[in-house]
């Protein structure tokens, strides 16, 4: 039976990749990590794509990949945090699956990412104020894209994964 895709969206550091891995193992679905797939295709890291080709180029690659994924089924997709910046992306996700928002506070994001240097949009702005401001700007987009949201603060990957499985009922995921 064909099932619809499950798209995980949310701010950088909200745990989309870890939760996607959990769901893939638990549900035996296929997983696609959009950033990793773009890196594989472009043969370079996201930060190199941003610095050498620019954000616009990255966003085009992101939409191209999403167009392909939206034609698939049974896929758990870990989206890049900025996927909601394009209306087309939101439409593609909504048409082909359930969209789940992982919501985290700026403090959680900072705690998880403060020692990382692979998020070009946070480079030199790794502080609660900058993260909160970016979150606030994006909040309406995340909310309009999501079918529902799950809070991730101080919760285990398994607890988050189980909540998603409960909320995204089989009925909701079936295409027919």
Asked if 23 touches ligand S3P (CB under 6 A), the answer is no
Asked if 12 touches ligand S3P (CB under 6 A), the answer is yes
Asked if 18 touches ligand S3P (CB under 6 A), the answer is no
Asked if 82 touches ligand S3P (CB under 6 A), the answer is yes
Q: Do the bridges between strand 148-151 and strand 97-103 make them parallel or antiparallel, or are there none, so unpaired? A: parallel
The residues in 100-119 that bind ligand S3P, with binding defined as CB under 6 A, are 119
C-alpha torsion 32→37→38→44, nearest 10? 150
Find the binder of ligand S3P among 6, 20, 32, 46 (CB under 6 A).
46
Collect all residues with Cβ–Cβ distance below 8 Å to 4 and sequence separation of at least 6: 73, 96, 97, 98, 172, 173, 174, 175
Please report how close the Cβ of residue 17 comes to ligand S3P at its closest, in angstroms. Answer: 6
Asked if 76 touches ligand S3P (CB under 6 A), the answer is no
* Angle at 129 (CA atoms; ends 128, 131), nearest 5 degrees: 65
Q: What SS3 class is residue 170?
A: helix
Please report how close the Cβ of residue 14 comes to ligand S3P at its closest, in angstroms. Answer: 7
Stretch that binds ligand S3P, among 79-87, 92-100, 146-154, 159-167 (CB under 6 A): 79-87
Q: How far apart are CA 39 and CA 108, in angstroms?
A: 26
C-alpha torsion 162→98→58→112, nearest 10? -20
Asked if 157 touches ligand S3P (CB under 6 A), the answer is no
What is the binding site for ligand S3P (CB under 6 A)? 12, 16, 35, 46, 80-82, 119-121
């Amino acid at each position: 039976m064909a099932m619809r895709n499950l798209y995980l969206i949310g701010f950088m550091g909200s745990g989309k990749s870890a939760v996607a891995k959990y769901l893939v193992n638990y549900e035996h679905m296929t997983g696609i990590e959009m950033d990793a797939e773009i890196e594989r295709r472009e043969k370079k890291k996201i930060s190199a794509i941003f610095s050498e080709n620019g954000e616009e180029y990255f966003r085009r690659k992101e939409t191209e990949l999403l167009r392909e994924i939206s034609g698939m089924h049974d896929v758990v997709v870990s989206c890049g945090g900025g996927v909601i910046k394009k209306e087309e992306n939101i439409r593609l996700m909504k048409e082909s699956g359930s969209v789940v928002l992982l919501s985290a506070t700026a403090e959680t994001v900072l705690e998880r990412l403060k020692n990382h240097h692979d998020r070009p949009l946070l480079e030199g702005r790794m502080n609660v104020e900058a993260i909160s401001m970016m979150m606030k700007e994006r909040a309406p987009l995340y909310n309009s894209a999501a079918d529902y949201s799950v809070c991730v603060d101080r919760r285990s990957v398994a607890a988050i994964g189980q909540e998603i499985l409960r909320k995204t009922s089989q009925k909701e995921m079936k295409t027919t």
